């Protein structure tokens, strides 16, 4: 799924310090030297529609590795051809309360059209999900991690939800402004799930839908089907792709 915020954002400062691995060209940020060298846990970061061409996901992976003291992998589920290019990035409303006008809609349509074949055909859900599953299988053949957590951003959040619903590969799931999962996906996910949501999720999950999701989780409390969860809404943010000058949330 694509939304206007697949085409917006800022480039993070700094340079990636990890490497491109031999496993399907995934980016790898290794556990730091002050971590446990025998650790058998890892994080898989699933990117937004910019994929690995945008350095942001690599820099985030480096930061996660440093703070969480574990290996972090960023698979290239677009096979080197992400549907959205860095050149398509432009600034749209970056915080809640700023309207997305008619002209902005026209601009978005003009920008998304070149990416439509890639989003709808080349990188449709079944394809990127399959590449992700294949990557995790290859990774486990080599690394044999005991625990794998997944963090999915926007487009990657949809993959995390779908793969989390149809496999038992992930021991924990973090969804950040994800492509909207279906009720069937929510029911099928067995791993603890944390949601990081903006106040306004244009083109994604509406406040009303988020309330439905909260009620869905709440109704399972005390039942065998209950799964640990957390839903956090960051007030003032728009689609978790905020302006870096918005210091309230930058850190």
Chain mean pLDDT for the chain: 85
pLDDT of residue 90: 57
- Please state, in angstroms and as integers, the Cα–Cα distance from residue 99 to each residue in 45, 95, 96, 176, 179, following that order: 31, 10, 8, 22, 21
**Across 132-136, average pLDDT:** 98
Q: How many domains does the chain have?
A: 1
167-185 tens-digit pLDDT: 999 999 999 999 999 999 9
pLDDT of residue 201: 78
For the entire predicted model, the pTM comes to 0.85
pLDDT of residue 171: 98
State the residue range of the domain holding 129.
4-250
CA–CA separation, 202 vs 195, rounded Å? Answer: 16
Asked if 231 and 211 touch (Cβ cutoff 8 Å), the reply is no
Using pLDDT thresholds of 50, 70 and 90, give the confidence band for residue 120: low
**CATH code: domain of residue 138:** 3.40.50.1820
Cα-trace Rg, the chain = 18
For 10, the token pair is: 């800022």
CA–CA separation, 8 vs 50, rounded Å? Answer: 10
91-113 tens-digit pLDDT: 455 555 556 666 766 776 677 66
Asked if 109 and 103 touch (Cβ cutoff 8 Å), the reply is no
**pLDDT at residue 146 is higher than 60:** yes
């Amino acid at each position: 799924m694509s939304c206007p915020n697949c085409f917006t954002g800022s480039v993070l400062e700094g340079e990636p310090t990890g490497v491109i691995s031999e496993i399907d060209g995934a980016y790898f940020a290794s556990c730091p030297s002050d971590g446990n060298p025998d650790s058998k846990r890892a994080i898989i970061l699933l990117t937004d529609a910019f994929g690995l061409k945008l350095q942001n996901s690599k820099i985030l992976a480096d930061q996660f590795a440093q703070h969480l003291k574990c290996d972090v992998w960023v698979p290239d589920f677009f096979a080197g051809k992400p549907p959205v290019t860095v050149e398509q990035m432009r600034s749209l409303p970056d915080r809640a309360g700023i309207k997305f006008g008619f002209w902005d809609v026209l601009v978005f349509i003009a920008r998304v059209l070149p990416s439509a074949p890639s989003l709808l055909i080349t990188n449709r859900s079944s394809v990127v999900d399959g590449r992700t599953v294949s990557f995790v299988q290859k990774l486990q053949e080599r690394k044999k991690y005991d625990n794998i957590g997944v963090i999915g951003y926007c487009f990657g959040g949809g993959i995390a939800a779908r793969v989390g619903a149809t496999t038992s590969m992930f021991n924990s799931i973090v969804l950040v402004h994800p492509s909207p999962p279906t009720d069937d996906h929510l029911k099928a996910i067995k791993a603890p799930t944390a949601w990081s949501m903006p106040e306004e999720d244009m083109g994604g999950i509406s406040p009303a839908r988020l309330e439905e999701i909260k009620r869905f989780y709440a109704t399972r409390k005390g039942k065998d089907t209950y799964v640990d969860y957390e839903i956090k809404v960051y007030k003032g943010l728009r689609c978790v792709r905020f302006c870096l000058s918005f210091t309230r949330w930058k850190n």
